[in-house]
């Protein structure tokens, strides 16, 4: 992961209010990073951060649920 990609990943996690992240299972050609929340956790949609070819973005609601299905299979 390049320094710029790492910076964008950190910014995405900050936008989600996460304390850190952990690597999830690859999905649809993306590296997946799961937000980790401290002190009481998080209530809301299970959004993840998707990374592909240096592009970093927060999943859509639909992608978040598709990823949950993928992760649990």
Whether this model's pTM surpasses 0.75: yes
Q: What is the pLDDT of residue 22?
A: 96
Q: Which tokens hold the place of 50?
A: 């998707």
Residue 19's pLDDT is 92
Neighbours of 72 (CB within 10 A): 7
What average pLDDT values come out for the chain (73 residues) when binned by 10 residues?
96 94 97 90 87 97 96 89
> What pLDDT sits at residue 57?
98
pLDDT at position 73, please? 84
**pLDDT confidence of residue 39:** 78
d(CA 3, CA 41): 28
> Is-contact 48 70, C-beta < 8 A?
no
């Amino acid at each position: 992961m390049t320094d710029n990609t790492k910076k964008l990943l950190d910014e995405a996690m900050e936008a989600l209010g996460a304390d850190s992240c952990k690597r999830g299972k690859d999905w649809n050609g993306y590296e997946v990073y799961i937000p980790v929340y401290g002190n009481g956790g998080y209530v809301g949609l299970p959004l993840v951060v998707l990374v592909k070819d240096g592009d970093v973005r927060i999943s859509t609601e639909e992608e978040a649920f598709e990823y949950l299905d993928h992760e649990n299979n």
